[in-house]
Amino acid sequence: MIGIRDFKVSIGRTGGWRLAACAAISLAAAATAYGKEYESGIKWVEPKIIESGAKCGDAPSDAIILFDGKDLSKWEGAEKWEIKDGYVIPHGHDIKTKDSFGDCQLHVEWATPSTVSGSGQGRGNSGVYLMEKYEVQVLDSYENKTYFDGQAGSIYKQKPPMVNCCRKPGEWQSYDIIFNAPKFGEGGRLVKPGYVTVLQNGVLVQNHTELLGSTFYDQPPHYEPGPPKGKLELQFHHNQVRFRNIWIREIPEPPVATEHASK
């Protein structure tokens, strides 16, 4: 069937009255076929205009750049971390951002050592901690078996990734993480759990996964009530993991309607 758009294009190109008449008849027929256009009547506020990054993985204009390959001034405790050739290598202990974040979109690029040593949890281990409590595991999981809820892309000791899409040791990989922070009410009562979505190298590995609480090595997960925001943390785990191109966006408020048109 020829659609309304096809006829509009056709009229514009030829301009002939016969064709226009034909188009009018056909438009009427199409309108009958499609029915009256649905309009919600909601008057939305125009979404804010921002600039996307120039290429995939680049920060958009409203992102906070946490590490651009040159300095770690947005972090605390990073004195021993080694910046080199546009990336940074963990040394000494974990580092935390100076600012705190709640609901956010986070981009992190990482690579495990190209020279393989160790196995299981001892091979290319680091981690991205949301609010200092919820670890998205970083690990060399390329032909390196460990417990599944501790491999790369897992929510540590809570949920394995849906697939293992790890690249080879030494190759750069990315995490794009969407985090909805847990909400606590009076007396520290959990009102709403946290949720984490993770894309590793563009592949969905965690899909709105419900957090069961803080991630621990030596305890079952449980929530530790606290403020609505917390610092982002990168783990030092005695492995020469590299990080680069780290940026974060606080998730904007959802679109709002200014009014409902009367019907």
Smaller CB separation from Mg ion, 26 or 146: 146
CA 98 to CA 233: how far, in whole Å?
Answer: 10
Smaller CB separation from Mg ion, 94 or 103: 94
CB of 187 to Mg ion, least distance (A): 32
Query: Amino acid letter at 51?
Result: E
CB of 153 to Mg ion, least distance (A): 12
CB of 126 to Mg ion, least distance (A): 6
CB of 54 to Mg ion, least distance (A): 32
Query: Amino acid letter at 9?
Result: V
DSSP 69: S
Residue 10, both tokens: 């056709």
Smaller CB separation from Mg ion, 23 or 165: 165
Picking from 155, 127, 130, 129, the residue whose alpha carbon sits closest to that of residue 139 is 127
Please report where in the chains the tokens 């709640």 appear, as a residue. 102
Binding residues for Mg ion, rule: CB under 5 A, are: 125, 127, 235
CB of 137 to Mg ion, least distance (A): 5
Picking from 109, 117, 64, the residue whose alpha carbon sits closest to that of residue 86 is 109
For the purposes of burial, counting CB atoms within 10 Å of the CB of 111, is it exposed (0-12), middle (13-18) or buried (19 or more)? buried
For the purposes of burial, counting CB atoms within 10 Å of the CB of 115, is it exposed (0-12), middle (13-18) or buried (19 or more)? exposed
SS3 readout for 97-125: EEEEECCEEEEEEEECCCCCCCCHHHCCC
Smaller CB separation from Mg ion, 127 or 161: 127
Tell me the C-alpha to C-alpha distance, in Å, between residue 214 and each of 21, 66, 126, 138: 68, 23, 16, 16
CB of 149 to Mg ion, least distance (A): 12
Query: Amino acid letter at 181?
Result: A
Smaller CB separation from Mg ion, 127 or 230: 127
Smaller CB separation from Mg ion, 125 or 144: 125
Number of residue whose CB is nearest Mg ion: 127
CA 160 to CA 177: how far, in whole Å?
Answer: 15
CB of 129 to Mg ion, least distance (A): 9
Smaller CB separation from Mg ion, 63 or 246: 246
Q: Please state the separation of Cα 67 from the chain's center in Å.
A: 16
